[in-house]
Structure 1
Amino acid sequence: MKHWEPLFVKKLEATDLGDDPAHDLAHFTRVVATAKALAADEGARIEVVAPAAWLHDLVNVPKNDPRRSQASRLSAEEALVFLRSIDYPEGLLPDIAHAIEAHSYSAGIEPRTLEARVVQDADRLDGLGAIGIARCFAVGGLMGVRFYDPQDPFAERRPWNDRENAIDHFHVKLFKTAESLKTAAGRREGARRAEFMRQYLDRLAIEIGGEIP
């Protein structure tokens, strides 16, 4: 990968990734690092995992865009064009494309290969834990969403609604992604990150309730 990865990074640096801090170059770097760790633990082919992780969000469609479910397919198509332009081994391209297409939560594509499961888990793990909390509020800010419902912060008398309240997104999606992880290593890490998020919500309840422990 020493020859290829600088080319992947250069491609991302030349790509307009938009103004979403949850999908900036740092996001790609974290996903790649996690994907490599999962691949080593699970025995996945790094020559498929690494390019798929680097290029998984090559076409970034905003969360509230009606084309959101197409983003991973568009990213896979763009990735194949790029990989062919740098003469990446042709025989690996179908599995790379599938791993990119299947990583998306909104696309609803079941990963058929170990490598696709690794990339999907790596991307979903980045939505959990401390970094997941930061990303949740960053995206909420971009979309004009308030932190929580001041009348009913934890949806005791209303349905969860992450279009209006950022912390509702924990329950609408993020805790569900922790339960959807496909690899054993991913599930272990997902459980740790989800527990941290629950602890955060417990602390938040104390602070917004005016309690001093």
Structure 2
Amino acid sequence: MQTLVDRVAAHIKARFLAESSGHDWHHINRVWQLTRQIASQEGANSEIAELGALVHDIADWKFHGGDDSVGPREAEALLRREGATAEVIAAVVDIVATISYKGAGVTTAMRSPEGQCVQDADRLDAIGAIGIARCFAYGGHAGRLMHDPDEPPVLHQTAAAYKASKGASLNHFYEKLFLLKDRMNTPTGRALAEPRHRFMEDFVAQFLAEWDVSA
């Protein structure tokens, strides 16, 4: 008999398998597996953490006009249909409502150990080699330039400013990706982030060296 986690995973896989902006089933599955690893190391509730990972991108604000309320609503509806208890629903919906990065000056602190594990896992998939690929995949999806040397990065101080940004993909490294290593919640997340962060630093240095062919 399928567990609640299995049923939710099957639904999410069917819904997101063909998504092409870097927020596809494969991203969600990586976050799920990373969450399992981190939750095991950190002693978090596995069911709540895994469910949070599976539905964390069920309706990302980036694809719903900046509306933060759609994701929590859809997560609650799915969990309710699948027979989750009220306690589990409340815990998972809180993760979905809090997980997103919303600017360098905005705090998005998770209130539960399970949420901390999911947030770390999601942020790990936003950095390193996979994170680089996802950054440019989303940039192309959103019609953004790869790089504009005349457009400096902006450390957004409000969620509204971050959501309104249309900056080039390379700026995203300075505006978000390079900041994530120091925003990991757990010791496990911090340890996993270190090599991914160094890889991104090397990539951006090489990118800029190749960009400026006149040097």
TM-score by length of 1: 0.83
Q: What per-residue deviation string (whole Å, max 9, x for no partner) do you get for residues 59-117 of structure 1?
A: 133369332xx1xx422222222222222233322211212212111285421111111
Q: Cα gap change, 1:187/1:90 in structure 2, threshold over 3 Å: closer, same or farther?
A: same
What does residue 12 of structure 1 align with?
12
What does residue 78 of structure 2 align with?
82
Distance in structure 1 (CA, Å) of the matches to 2:81 and 2:127: 34
Distance in structure 2 (CA, Å) of the matches to 1:120 and 1:91: 20
Check if 1:174 corresponds to 2:167.
no
Check if 1:101 corresponds to 2:67.
no
- Within 5 Å, which residues of 2 pair with 1:177-196? 177-196=180-199
What does residue 126 of structure 2 align with?
127
Amino acid at match of 1:37: Q
Q: What per-residue deviation string (whole Å, max 9, x for no partner) do you get for residues 36-74 of structure 1?
A: 11101111110110111101111133369332xx1xx42
Distance in structure 2 (CA, Å) of the matches to 1:127 and 1:200: 14
Does structure 2 conserve the Cα–Cα contact (< 8 Å) formed by 1:80 and 1:97? yes
Distance in structure 2 (CA, Å) of the matches to 1:109 and 1:2: 33
What does residue 56 of structure 2 align with?
56
Amino acid at match of 2:112: T
Alignment partner of 1:62: what SS? helix
Does structure 2 conserve the Cα–Cα contact (< 8 Å) formed by 1:22 and 1:138? yes
What does residue 145 of structure 1 align with?
144
Root-mean-square deviation (Å): 2.7
- Structure 2: 5+ residue runs without aligned partners? 155-164
- Give the total of aligned pairs: 202
Amino acid at match of 2:73: E
Q: Mean alpha-carbon deviation: is it higher for 24-33 or for 173-182? A: 173-182
Query: Percent identity over the alignment?
Result: 29
TM-score by length of 2: 0.82
What does residue 203 of structure 1 align with?
206
Amino acid at match of 1:104: S
Q: Mean alpha-carbon deviation: is it higher for 113-122 or for 162-171? A: 162-171
Q: Cα gap change, 1:28/1:16 in structure 2, threshold over 3 Å: closer, same or farther?
A: closer
